[in-house]
Amino acid sequence: MAAAGDDGITHRVVEVNGVRLHVAEAGPAGGPVALLLHGFPELWYTWRHQMPALAAAGYRAVAPDLRGYGGSDAPAPAAGAQQYTALHVVGDLVALVDSLGHDRVFVVAHDWGAILAWYLCQFRPDKVISLAALSVPYVRRDPALAPVDALRSLYGDEYYICRFQEPGAMEAEFARLGTELVLRKFLSLRTADPLFIPYSGWGSPDDEVPLPSWISDEDIKYYTSEFEKTGFTGGLNYYRAWDKTWELTAPWSGAKINVPAKFIIGDLDLTYRIPTTQEFICKGDEFVPLLEDVVIMKDVGHFINEEKPNEINELIINFIKKFE
């Protein structure tokens, strides 16, 4: 394991499920594990504010770069997006948990990390003590309509998730704009309106997008350096494999999530007005019976754990302490 920096975070590589995952850790080696799962376009680094707080509270915070991101392996390009289904990635997570020497862990997850965490709870509830999900709720499987088709029917072909589907197309658009500008555009999003990326282009490479107050120059440099090494294909492949995941999870149609859960979202999150999010806010306990509560943070955007770290730390730690 690498030496700890000033923040007490160490880094190592763990071989799991046929891939090598870069893992950041903080806190006592024998403490209860809090597994932190990032989204798009993020890295373990999205949890930089939560890891020291969890460590100070006595937890071992473990934040991997998911497959295809940062310092973790990406499956061979010839395999395409089909190596990024929830079954593949949950396989990574189960093997990672097993490697930590714990039978069960607390899970905290954001965005795509939250989607994968709900699947982890569905497939292997024996591995999860509790789940704090940020931004993306549990969405019941619609046996008649795949998720990308459902979003296309709501928002059209230029909705960002629909635009992500064609291999190479978004990679070319992001290359035209430049890595740092793409990250600035995503990280500065603070609206509940749907995100569209027109076929005519997502703006100009000369666009000036100021950083939000909660992202420093050092932060954007780190994100940019990592995505310049790997590109965006790994992260985009999660979206491209989503319908395949839907196909493979037919046996879980109608299944409920039987893990204690908490859901936290900002009212300026781009997911906030999606019908499935509103359904979960209103009646999520019908399909997540152990849902403790839903927290809606006012005037907060999508990257909630970075924008409001102190508030999120308090909510997370107070929640997981109930299950020690």
Active-site option among 38, 102, 110, 302: 302
Catalytic residue flag (residue 11): no
Q: Is 239 a catalytic residue?
A: yes
Amino acid at the residue 243: D
The active-site residue, picked from 111, 119, 138, 269, is 111
- CA angle 285–143–197, rounded 5-degree value: 85
Q: What is the spatial distance between Cα 273 and Cα 276, in angstroms, rounded to a whole number?
A: 8
The dihedral through the CA atoms of 106, 110, 113, 115 has a sign that is positive
CA-based torsion, 240, 158, 140, 134: positive or negative: positive
Q: Write out the DSSP string of 51-72.
A: HHHHHHTT-EEEEEPPTTSTTS
**Considering 45, 84, 239, 272, which one is annotated as catalytic?**
239
- How far is it between the farthest Cα atoms of the chain? 53
Beta strands in 113-238 (DSSP E): 128-134
Asked if 99 and 16 count as a contact pair (C-beta separation under 8 A), the reply is yes
4 φ, ψ to 5°? -75, 145
Beta bridge partners of residue 133, listed in sequence order: 109, 263
State the catalytic residues: 111, 239, 302
